[in-house]
Amino acid sequence: MIEINNVHKSYGPLAVVKGVNLTVNKGEVVSIIGGSGSGKSTLLMCINGLEQIQQGSIRVDGTEVHGAPGTDLNRLRQKIGIVFQQWNAFPHLTVLENVMLAPRRVKGLARDEAEAIAVRQLKHVGLGDKLKTFPGKLSGGQQQRMAIARALAMSPDYMLFDEATSALDPQLVGEVLDTMRMLSEEGMTMVLVTHEIRFARDVSDRVAFFRDGKVHEIGPPEQVIDHPQMPETFDFLKSTH
Amino acid sequence: MLSTSFTGNDLLFMLEGAWATLRLTLWAMLLGTLAGVVLGLLRAALPRLTMPLAWLLDVFRSVPLLIQFVLFNALKSIAGLEWSAFAVGCVVLGIYCAAYCTEIVRSGVLSVSANVNRAARSLGMTYFQTLRYIVLPMATRVSFPGWINLVLGVMKDTSLVLWIGIIELLRASQTIVTRIQEPLFVLCIAGLIYYVMSWGVAWLGTVVEKRWQEND
């Protein structure tokens, strides 16, 4: 379970997240929607400690992410996979090596074990025929699926998606969304920051509308997307169509 | 007998000088690269804290190498160090290389985007694992052409050590010129030897780069 309590985050004088409360239960898919600059992506980075927070607390399975001296962030991050908008492939490694690296070096698995896991995950996302290819030779959609496999290879309990399709050409969005949909159907706990409203409605158990660094409205997609209670949510959804 | 024409022995003498040039280059690059990698990483990781280091290295990049040789040689005598001229040459050139190499490494490390760093850290990799498996290999590819340039530059800068009494390629050539009075001919041969040595280095660089480029 991810518990986010009254989290505040600012970059210098610029407050980005201004008191967010959000709980994500095991097996749940929660989508975060909202305009740019509403603090959605920043919050995601705070969940696995890639960004610091100034106030509040974030707990993952009871482990305090911020400000607790006993927390081993490197260990915690192994169970929180994250996929970024810019897929961030390691360009000097093959697709297979990209996915094998963390299981080998972080988990300390033997080469053949790590390779078996990587091959399985790459086949899972439909890249079984690209193992020896370098990322530079892949399309954006393929690189993003590789990034998903790379995160999955650590067998995470949670997957965070930070606008995973925003940087893709329109015709490549579908293949990545299909992969994400597949994960949700397998019961993966997921937090998605997304601009794909229709996709969010299809896969989410709950949708949170962020506005001005706070959760402005949250509920099942039938409520937040189909029948928003807040006028700002309504305006936002109208503007995205 | 004192011959006034260019003999096989003269060519041998020049090749011996070229060997000294190569040895100097090798030692200077070894010292300079080792120090440059460490200092460059420090400069990239702690830019504020290492500002004084940058100022210091700027001195070595800004003062003509010839002055550095002569000053260091004099300092050596004042301090009573029993170093050979060759050792002095290696150390001065090594520091000079380190100053350049630090900047080459620093810019290479900074070329690795913060996003790629984050991706590595998000997988649970530690700072040093990220450095070893992601940042250093990526930075090496970016820095390599600059480093090859440095090798080529240093190989030619070694000619300045003739001022502290080392017989390398250029000094050997001058000795021969004094005797046979054929400066253009002898310098052409010296230039050709420099060219062949540089060509070897540049060729190695191309081979390595090509292997990397196949992956992009």
CA–CA separation, A158 vs A24, rounded Å? 10
Q: How many distinct helices (H) and strands (E) make up chain A? A: 9, 10
Return the pLDDT at B2: 63
**Contact criterion met (CB < 8 Å) for B118 and A88:** yes
- The closest of A216, A165, A157 to A33, measured between CA atoms, is A216
pLDDT higher than 60, residue B1? no
Q: Across chain B, what does the average pLDDT equal?
A: 91
Per-residue CA distances from A206 to A30, B45, B187 (Å): 5, 41, 81
| Sequence ranges of the domains in chain B | 19-212
Tokens at residue B152, please? 């080529």
Residue from the list B113, B126, B133 with its beta carbon closest to the beta carbon of A74: B126
Q: β-strand A80-83 against A158-162: which pairing, if any?
A: parallel
Tens digit of each residue's pLDDT (9 = 90 or more) over B86-114: 899 999 999 999 999 999 999 999 999 99
Tokens at residue B163, please? 């001022």
pLDDT, mean of residues B74-81: 88
Tokens at residue A118, please? 């990587």
Residue from the list B123, B138, B216 with its beta carbon closest to the beta carbon of A136: B216
Residue from the list A78, A91, A150 with its beta carbon closest to the beta carbon of B216: A91
SS3 A56: strand
Tokens at residue B20, please? 């000294």
Contacts of A81 in chain B (CB under 8 A): 122
Tens digit of each residue's pLDDT (9 = 90 or more) over A57-98: 999 999 999 988 888 999 999 999 999 998 899 999 999 999
Contacts of A50 in chain B (CB under 8 A): 118, 121-122
**Contact criterion met (CB < 8 Å) for B122 and A105:** no
CA–CA separation, A149 vs A138, rounded Å? 14
Tokens at residue B144, please? 């390599």
Please give the class, per CATH, of domain B19-212: mainly alpha
B133/A contact by beta carbon, under 8 A: yes
User: What stretches of chain A adopt beta strand conformation (E)?
Assistant: 2-11, 14-24, 29-34, 55-60, 63-64, 80-83, 158-162, 189-193, 206-211, 214-219
